Amino acid sequence: MKLTFILIGLNIIAYVISAFMSGSIIDMDVEILVKLGAIFGPFTVVDSQWQTLFTAIFLHAGMTHLLMNMFSLYLIGRSVEQYFNTVAYLGVYLFSGIIGGLVSLYMHPFSVGVGASGAIFGLFGALAGFFLAHRSKIEEHSKAFMKDFAVILGINLVLGFSIESIDVSAHIGGLVVGMIGGFILSKNPKWIGAYSMIMCIVILLMMQYLPIQYAQRIF
């Protein structure tokens, strides 16, 4: 559980910094979040501040946002650490968060985006990928997990479409990336290099495409 606690710690540290700068521990100032590295289309895409795809994963909009995500990370992270090594876990987490952010930028070009949700959904997807890859060996456990998976996914989609501030697109993007990673890496952890290369190519292609799309929307 070491990596899970490290990630939780980094999120808390980032929150303390943003709370101090915002002058509130409950709700963060949007301008402060942007300064600290939230994703925001005109800056991230138009001004090529692509590093915000990474920093935004560790920022949160408020106390409720942080607590919900960290509780989810604690629950799902412990399970992921049982089935995947540290490199695979971290790879899935970061790629899911970053690509989830890119999907969010495509769907919501003028919204400020923060949060670990895409990365956390990636971990959940990784577990789904693991059980899919080994469903013949652990059929009963696989069926039980997939039922729980469908229920939790359904609840999150309903909440996401009902609450405007929740970015479902980032969740789905992270989920797909994590599921692919979980399936591949549960077959052979040594395939982390191939998985990373594929994800890097996807990221680069999206980074090439988004400025074109934004130019068409803005101009």
- Pairwise CA distance, residues 182 & 77, whole Å: 13
**Which one of the listed residues 22, 96, 104, 117 is annotated catalytic?**
117
Which of these, 189, 171, 70, lies nearest to 125 by C-alpha position?
A: 171
Render 64-129 in DSSP notation, one character per residue: HHHHHHHHHHHHHHHHHHHHS-HHHHHHHHHHHHHHHHHHHHHH-TTSEE--SHHHHHHHHHHHHH
- Is residue 134 annotated as a catalytic residue, yes or no? no
**Which one of the listed residues 22, 96, 171, 186 is annotated catalytic?**
171
Beta strands 112-113; 39-40: pairing state: antiparallel
- Pairwise CA distance, residues 143 & 145, whole Å: 5
Is residue 100 within 8 Å of 56, Cβ to Cβ? Answer: no
Q: What is the DSSP letter of 58?
A: G
Which of these, 154, 151, 183, 182, lies nearest to 168 by C-alpha position?
A: 154
Render 12-50 in DSSP notation, one character per residue: HHHHHHHHHHHT-SSB--HHHHHHHT-EEHIIIIIT--T
- Is residue 117 annotated as a catalytic residue, yes or no? yes
Q: Annotated catalytic sites, by residue?
A: 117, 171
